[in-house]
Homo-oligomer: A and B are copies of this chain.
């Protein structure tokens, strides 16, 4: 398949069947208190309860499980310091394959530990994109390992779509789905999945104002590849790829940006009222609901809580 190929609904269905034995079918939670507060019916898809604590395990598992025995034997490689690194490490281990994870040398110790805990081979590099790509390139030349990008990958996108697929199958009368946009893998897969199931459903992207490359790209119709993000939502620092830009431009019904204050406020609301731990990136969707009450009033809204990995020694409230 070529580099800009785009999954269709059947790819999501196939991914769902393929990864089912490996992933949790995460619960969908509601809170009558939050429903009252936001004057909407909110259904939270709890990917914070997914293995490795984030939806990323879906895409990584789908991509790894499509590799041949020969490819698995040569191993996998990615550069990431976040949830994709942990997800790929566990997905590889589940198939007996080796994962090489290129991480910036200044990555937090807790992230290094998590990835090492899944048995990955960590290779450190300078904290910039060129060093990351160069180091990954060296590993590929040495080992023949297969590179699995965190979001610019057909099979990763198809895998990420299975969260929304499960959510809408559990709650077929949802009218809207909101989820966060970083590199765009989650919402690309989500849009393909839920519009395949229910063409009339609205799919809405949520982005921090401090990392609004997708908002600007989509609203202007012109792909923006560089930005200097500044947000607490550390899972949403990446920019769209040309592929996710194409998918989201076609399939998102709207995209909203939200303030840091609103992200932190909504994160605290979920912790306090729902008694679950979500990372800041997960709170961005609820912040969109908070900042745009007219859009969501009285609606049945699915919200994808993307993950729950946060340093408990560094809580922003």
Interface residues of A (CB under 8 A from B): 27, 29, 48-49, 53, 268, 271-272, 274-278, 308, 312-313, 315, 317
Contacts and interface: CB of A to CB of B under 8 A. Distances in A.
Given A27-B27, A277-B277, A312 B272 contact: yes
B275 A271 contact: no
Contact of A275 (B49, B313, B315): B49
Contacts of A315: 312, 315
B308 A275 contact: yes
Copies of this chain held together in the complex? 2
A271 B277 CA distance: 7
B271 A312 contact: yes
Contacts of A317: 312-313
A313 B53 CA distance: 24
Nearest to A313: B317
A218 to B, nearest CB: 31
A268 B312 contact: yes
A277 B278 CA distance: 10
Contacts of A275: 48-49, 53, 276-278, 308
Contacts of A49: 29, 274-275
Q: What 3 A-B pairs are tightest by C-beta distance, nearest first?
A: A275-B308, A275-B277, A48-B275
Nearest to A117: B33
A43 to B, nearest CB: 15
A21 to B, nearest CB: 14
16 contacts: A27-B27, A29-B49, A49-B274, A49-B275, A268-B312, A271-B277, A271-B312, A272-B312, A275-B276, A275-B277, A276-B276, A276-B277, A277-B277, A312-B315, A313-B317, A315-B315
